[in-house]
Structures are given as C-alpha cells and as structure tokens.
Amino acid sequence: MATDRRRCLEEVARAIEDGSTFIATTHVRPDGDALGSLTALMLALDHLGKTVHAHTQDSPAAMYQFLPAIERVSTEAPSRDAVAAADAGIAVDCASLDRTGAVGEHLVATGKVICIDHHAGGTPFGDVRCVIGESSSTAELMIELLDVLGVPLTREIATSLLTAHVFDTGRFSQRNTTAQAFRNGARLLEAGAEPEAVVRHMYDTVPLARIQIRGRALQRAEIDGPSGLVWSVLSHQDFDELGARAEDTEGIVADLRGVGEGRLAGLVSEVSPRECRVSLRARDGDVDVAELAAAFGGGGHTRAAGCTIEDAPGEAVRRLIEAARAQAGARTE
C-alpha cells in the first residue's frame, strides 16, 4: 500500500510539473481540510513558478479568513480565457466531481482533471487520481506531495496544513487520527505553524449569533430510541431571527454526538424552502454515517458525513429517523 501511495503521488507530481497554469478548487461549503489543503497547494504552485486560479462555489467561512492566500480564493466562475489557458484542473478533498459544485464543469473544460483526496467512498473521477482512504486528511497527502515536488514547508504553508489536520482529526482526537498525522503536526510546528493561533481563529473566536444558534439547537435535542439517533433541527426562521449563517452551526453536531445514550447524531438545518443540510456524526463504532448519508445522495467518512434532504425540516427529520432505524435494523439482523 505504501508503494501505491507513493506511486499515485508521483503521478500527480508529474502532472503538475508538466503544466504551467491550473484551475484549482475544493468541495462546496469548504471546511478546514478543504481550505487548508487548497491554500497550501496554491502556495506550493507559487513556489514552483506556476500560475494557479482558485475558485470555490461557496465563500470560505469567517473562521478561515486567517489562512494565507485565502483572499485569492474566488467564488466567481473562472473566465473563459483562464480555463482555455489552463493545463489542468485540480480538485482537492472531493470524493466526487459533483462535490465541486459549479466549478466542476470548468475543471473538465481544461482537458485534464487531477484529483487529490482521502475519501474512500464517492464516485471516482479525474484523469490523474490519488485517493488514499486511510489518510487522516487530504492535508496528510498534501504534505507528502510537496515532499515529492521538492517544495519546502514555509511558515505559511505549514499554517494551512496544520489547520487542515486540526479540523479533520478533531484536534488530533478522532478515530481517523493516524500516527502520521502526529508526525506531520511536529513537522508543521517546526516549520513555524502556531497551534494556539490556529485553534484561536477556528474555535475560540466566534460571533454571538453562533452561540445563540447553538443554544437553540441544543435546547431542541431529542433522541430516537430505536436507532439511537440524537437529533436536532434548525429552521430558516431561526437563522433569520438570530442573524446566524450556515457556518455558525459548526460543532453543534459534535455536541449532539456527546449524548451518552446515543449511537449517532444528526443536525438538520433548513437552508431554503424544501432544502435541508444534514450533518452526521457517529458515536458508536458500529455505525457508518457515510452509508446513512449515501441514502440521500451524500457521503463522507464512517464517523463523519453529510447530505442534503430536499424536504421541509419536519419531513427531513422523519426521513432521517426512518433511514437510521432501517440501518440499525439491518445491523442487528
């Protein structure tokens, strides 16, 4: 497996070395691993003398505005000239092409797509692919890719990659935290990344609306006995009343997962009429929330996943509970 890992990283490195201009992106509603990996890639391509245009469908959340080069990530579509000039499109932290949202068609239009990811599920895509499911994060692969490319870990790159590691490992506490992730952490600190500053920006500096929306969600928390699903729901009205944004729900589902009687947790957030985003986390090692999310066209990891249910909040909750019960029933048969 180590040989396969090295080989696919070398293939990605060759594709990057062969080009001079790239369109880069990550998944919709980008999180810490997505943006940390993307900005690290941008800075690495800068070091190599390449040109990179970074685009995402959704704006980076306020908690990530401290990342180096984040101001260069555009939510506008790449121009026709930029796409025509690009030698390849690069997608990081995307299990499927549709996870790139509206940017995906522009990646394909470049004529070559490079995929770097650590999600084992999803729909494989890309002309050059390096997808290693046992990696703790896409950033773990990104460090190895930079080593292959001969790009040094500058303070700025290290900050981006530490942010990504901190996010996707739950501050180095989740089951997906590998020994390599800890070794990477040491390297990134030695390169100048400051963990206290990263955590302060990500978790310890929040707007009042985030505290208020969290309180509202936790107050409504319920548990479904047959499935062990601890769930809560937030309506569009809740967000309007509190002046909260979708990014302000960050961390709520982890709080729900902490309920000792539960096996898994789900937060249903209404983002528009008949459209609810669902964040899922597993508490019990026997529960695969990626499988549960896949029932609604979503995906993710065994312990952390998400999906969209096109329905009103109440009906979305009902359907989620129904699916969780079906999964629990299949597991006990």
Domain of 191: which CATH number?
3.90.1640.10
The last residue of one of the domains, among 139, 171, 203, is: 203
Query: Mean pLDDT, to the nearest integer, of 214-237?
Result: 97
Query: Mean pLDDT, to the nearest integer, of 132-161?
Result: 96
For residues 199 and 213, state if they share a domain. Answer: no
- Is the pLDDT confidence value at 314 over 70? yes
- Is the pLDDT confidence value at 83 over 60? yes
For residues 130 and 155, state if they share a domain. Answer: yes
CA distances from 315 to 153, 227, 275 (A): 48, 17, 11
For residues 170 and 240, state if they share a domain. Answer: no
pTM, two decimal places:
0.83
Query: Mean pLDDT, to the nearest integer, of 220-233?
Result: 97
Tokens of 208: 């009042």
pLDDT recorded at residue 330: 62
Rounded to 10 degrees, the C-alpha dihedral 222/225/230/234 comes to: -40
Q: Mean pLDDT across the chain, nearest whole number?
A: 94
For residues 171 and 215, state if they share a domain. Answer: no
* Each residue's pLDDT tens digit, 2-14: 678 899 999 999 9
* Each residue's pLDDT tens digit, 247-301: 899 889 999 999 999 999 999 999 988 999 999 999 877 899 999 999 998 888 8
d(CA 162, CA 148): 19
Tokens of 285: 């090692």
- Is the pLDDT confidence value at 193 over 90? yes
Rounded to 10 degrees, the C-alpha dihedral 34/36/38/41 comes to: -140
The last residue of one of the domains, among 147, 173, 203, is: 203
d(CA 143, CA 47): 14
Q: Can you give the C-alpha Rg of the chain in angstroms?
A: 20
Question: 193 phi and psi, to 5 degrees?
Answer: -70, 145
Query: Mean pLDDT, to the nearest integer, of 73-86?
Result: 96
For residues 76 and 160, state if they share a domain. Answer: yes
Total tally of structural domains belonging to the chain: 2
CATH code for the domain of 248: 3.10.310.30
Higher pLDDT, 286 or 36: 36
For residues 70 and 212, state if they share a domain. Answer: no
pLDDT recorded at residue 122: 78
For residues 225 and 153, state if they share a domain. Answer: no
For residues 233 and 129, state if they share a domain. Answer: no
* 206 — pLDDT class (breaks 50, 70, 90): confident
Query: Mean pLDDT, to the nearest integer, of 7-32?
Result: 96
Q: Which of 265, 238, 261, 239 is nearest to 253 (CA)?
A: 265
Burial degree of 304 (CB within 10 A; 0-12, 13-18, 19+): buried
For residues 173 and 267, state if they share a domain. Answer: no
Residue range(s) defining the domain that contains residue 258: 208-332
**Residue 172 zone, left/alpha/beta (φ > 0; ψ -120 to 50; rest):** left
* 329 — pLDDT class (breaks 50, 70, 90): confident
pLDDT recorded at residue 2: 64
pLDDT recorded at residue 250: 87
The last residue of one of the domains, among 188, 203, 218, is: 203
pLDDT recorded at residue 205: 87
For residues 192 and 137, state if they share a domain. Answer: yes
For residues 318 and 267, state if they share a domain. Answer: yes
Query: Mean pLDDT, to the nearest integer, of 141-160?
Result: 97
- Is the pLDDT confidence value at 1 over 70? no
* 120 — pLDDT class (breaks 50, 70, 90): confident
For residues 215 and 162, state if they share a domain. Answer: no
